[in-house]
Structure 1
Amino acid sequence: MRRGIAAAVVVAALTISASACSGGSSGSDSSGPVTITWWDTSDATNEAGTYKSLIKDFEKANPDLKVKYVSVPFGDAQTKFQTAAGSKGAPDVLRADVGWTPGFAKAGYLAPLNDTPAAAEAQTFEPGLIKQAEYESKLYGIPQVTDTLGLMYNKELFAKAGITEAPGTWSELKSDMAKVKDKTGADGFAFNPQGYYVMPFLFGEGADMVDAGNNTITLNSPAAVKGVDTLQGILAAPGARKLDTTSNAYANIMDAFSTGKVAAIIQGPWENANVFKGSAFKDKTNLGIAPVPKGSKAQGAPLGGHNLVAYAGSDAAHQEASQKFIAFMTSKASQEKVALANGTLPTRPDAYTAEVVKNPGIAGYQGLLSAGVPRVALPEYSSLYTPLETQLIKIVSGQEGTKSGLDKAAAEAKRLLPGYSTS
């Protein structure tokens, strides 16, 4: 899963026409099985083994089909797929971040999955996840794993500070982190200054990066400014960990939290397994998971995850095989196996079996999914994180004012969305 935010969509690649997407699928001789290629972007160390095992199960159940497994680092996969699709060499199936799906669909790289075996059980998936696998009313992906952001907290540190429940608002978080620092010596809260992690502050004020319905960039709207100012206030308050803007910030924050040096962070379920390896969470029940605190108008966190998508350039035989493979890999049984082995969240309610929800990390985040905010089905949406993050770091570091920084972020966003106005 995500260990940082994916590289921005290379917008120029979106202009490559669908005519470039022909051929390039894995070959097979006429008498042998059809072999499809799957690019898996999961964690090669902690997650890939489970998917390789599922491939064996799939091939056993479908002796006329074979799967060539290729592990592709998540941070490289978006650009690699764009390049491969443009030169007719893309894999038949890709594990794609939900934010990539609209852009790939617009470019003509993906085959619609409506009314195919891949989508036969689409009605059993979380509706919000299906929504962000669609583009212009067509389904281009089947959700394989999902995630959202929540407040991870150390129950023991909270108890020592006299805190009996997770903070429900940002002001309560400020109060709680000061208590933790005063009573335990640990930092009360640490923030990862990446664009994705600021979204709960925007959502809390009723803002987003864009208003697609009105073709407006809202990164610099009064609501967005208020959201970032709220974050600024938290980071300047007693009990906040000193802001880390180094290239190792993500790893440093996770290490501090998992070893009990920080009491609370905003994080997603892809870190469950790593948190449980930390000294502070040898007892897994010490991990608290709560919704992100509320802003003045709302409460919300982005829905994330990965879809399995099929390359539009594959021939009919490989398309059919890809559809069967996607259906198998997103089935109830497969999702249950992945959840039990990898600790990630299924995308369909029937896969949250009694055995799966014994994992407190999965059980905790399952309850947050219904409040998750689906990503806007805009091909350029994921690219907007880059200008937001660039200015966010300057703002929280004191190098730029909130409004002026967000104005600059909006100006950069307009380069990606020339037909949009700014707030």
Structure 2
Amino acid sequence: MNRFFGRTLLSATLLTAPLSLPAFAETQINALFMAQAAYSEADVRAMTEAFTKANPDIKVNLEFVPYEGLHDKTVLAQGAGNAYDVVLFDVIWPAEFAANNVLVDVSSKITEDMKKGVLPGAWTTVKYDEKFYGMPWILDTKYLFYNKEILEKAGIANPPKTWEELAADAKIIKDKGILATPIAWSWAQAEAAICDYTTLVSAFGGDFLKDGKPAFQSGGGLDALKYMVDTYTSGVTNPNSKEFLEEDVRKVFQNGDAAFALNWTYMYNMANDPKDSKVAGKVGVVPAPGVAGKSEASAVNGSMGLGITSVSKHPDEAWKYIVFMTSQATQNAYAKLSLPIWASSYEDPAVTKGQEELIAAAKVGLAAMYPRPTTPKYQEISVALQQAIQEALLGQSSPEDALKTAAENSGL
């Protein structure tokens, strides 16, 4: 080798070598989210990009699955070598996840500012047995959406305040030939149906459990299923509701084929987007109705939280990411598909502008949120109730018999 060339090559290597080494030790964390409703995948990616820009030593590997796959993916990954560090979890899972050591107890990490600033109802999302298993992130309940133009055509001055009024209004719309099936629900044999059912159970003053045993087969639980069956058999409910998930309901409503629809927060701004919706500018939203003498409004707790898995090798970085994603600044910047968990956000014009009607409904709905049963056996109860709802809607069983069987199959 030419000595001069060798010295030149060595000098060049010495000069460039430091530049090719990373300036920091990068830690990678894996995070699991759902690919539907609330924050969109694009929103989560944008939030995460902002986090990594502020924390260049942490790389976040994102994975998205449909809601229906979120629970099992979280549980099955616990024994895998590439397990998740951060997972999105539903309000119905902390009891099971705590009992099976899936999530880390982060009670000691919750600051006083967090406790004071976050809405009280939001904390129920991540709390079990007086311990916190994450931070609330998606604060959500179902609202009654209505098509203002269709109600006007039918001569209905105001949206219904009770479920009885809703059925009566839907019959007026049907009888006048404006829409054949005015109400759309998400009653597929999935968790979506349990959310609609829970909303009605809350309205009728029902209980899922009493003294740890099923109580939904009588009282308000039975009244709720009877109402579902009545609206279905009377023809005011879209018959395809028994196969619909929330996205199906949104599409039907946006196409102008529903006068009323029960759905989550995210539908409000999507249905008001003229690029994708035929009903933009005609969308009304109110709290889900109540039942005369029993309730003013009804609501299901459909909130979700972000937690650290017990197998995470990077719990500190995972918590740093969760704090960023649930921060007021991040949530306020993305408040069009999911409303913030922070109380003071609801007085912020940046959050309320353009969705004043939704915020007004949220102030009532979020305060009325009713929980699905808090038990490690939740999955068994949910599956049994999903089956009962389908059987009752299809006329294969009476509401009484269907719920009695569900109670027997609940595992409690």
Distance 2:38 2:403 in 1: 38
Residue from 258, 272, 281 that aligns with 2:268: 272
Kindly indicate whether residue 345 of structure 2 is the aligned counterpart of residue 348 of structure 1: no
Work out whether residues 356 and 362 of structure 1, in 8 Å CA contact, stay in contact via their aligned partners in 2: no
Q: Report what 1:163 is aligned to.
A: 156
Whichever residue aligns with residue 27 of structure 2, its letter is V
RMSD of aligned alpha carbons: 2.6
Q: How does the TM-score come out when normalised to structure 2?
A: 0.83
Structure 2 unpaired stretches of 5+ = 1-21, 188-192
Work out whether residues 36 and 91 of structure 1, in 8 Å CA contact, stay in contact via their aligned partners in 2: yes
Matching of residues 48-59 of structure 1 within 5 Å = 48-59=41-52
Whichever residue aligns with residue 350 of structure 2, its letter is E
Residue from 326, 330, 336 that aligns with 2:326: 330
Work out whether residues 92 and 310 of structure 1, in 8 Å CA contact, stay in contact via their aligned partners in 2: yes
Distance 2:139 2:91 in 1: 9
Q: Report what 1:14 is aligned to.
A: none
Kindly indicate whether residue 74 of structure 2 is the aligned counterpart of residue 81 of structure 1: yes
Q: Report what 1:192 is aligned to.
A: 186
Q: CA deviation at 1:248?
A: 5.1
Q: CA deviation at 1:310?
A: 0.5
Q: Which has the larger radius of gyration?
A: 2
Q: 1:52 to 1:242 in 2, by over 3 A?
A: closer
Q: 1:290 to 1:325 in 2, by over 3 A?
A: same
Q: Report what 2:54 is aligned to.
A: 61
Q: Structure 1 residue runs of 4+, over 6 Å off?
A: none
Matching of residues 292-307 of structure 1 within 5 Å = 292-296=288-292, 297-298=294-295, 299-307=297-305
Whichever residue aligns with residue 218 of structure 2, its letter is S
Kindly indicate whether residue 142 of structure 2 is the aligned counterpart of residue 149 of structure 1: yes
Matching of residues 108-147 of structure 1 within 5 Å = 108-116=101-109, 121-147=114-140
Q: How does the TM-score come out when normalised to structure 1?
A: 0.81
Q: Report what 2:382 is aligned to.
A: 385
Distance 1:208 1:356 in 2: 35
Distance 1:407 1:68 in 2: 45
Work out whether residues 48 and 60 of structure 2, in 8 Å CA contact, stay in contact via their aligned partners in 1: yes
Q: CA deviation at 1:364?
A: 4.9
Work out whether residues 203 and 298 of structure 2, in 8 Å CA contact, stay in contact via their aligned partners in 1: yes
Q: CA deviation at 1:65?
A: 2.6
Distance 2:268 2:158 in 1: 20
Whichever residue aligns with residue 315 of structure 2, its letter is Q
Q: 1:248 to 1:131 in 2, by over 3 A?
A: closer
Q: CA deviation at 1:247?
A: 4.1
Q: CA deviation at 1:323?
A: 1.4
Q: 1:93 to 1:102 in 2, by over 3 A?
A: same
Q: CA deviation at 1:387?
A: 1.2
Q: Report what 1:206 is aligned to.
A: 205
User: What's the secondary structure of 1:260's corresponding residue?
Assistant: coil
Work out whether residues 190 and 265 of structure 1, in 8 Å CA contact, stay in contact via their aligned partners in 2: yes
User: What's the secondary structure of 1:163's corresponding residue?
Assistant: coil
Distance 1:44 1:137 in 2: 29
Q: CA deviation at 1:175?
A: 1.7
Identity of aligned residues (%): 25
Kindly indicate whether residue 171 of structure 2 is the aligned counterpart of residue 178 of structure 1: yes
Whichever residue aligns with residue 207 of structure 1, its letter is G
Q: 1:309 to 1:251 in 2, by over 3 A?
A: closer
Q: CA deviation at 1:403?
A: 0.6
CA deviation map 1:131-151 (0-9, x unaligned):
231111110011111211121
Structure 1 unpaired stretches of 5+ = 1-28, 418-423
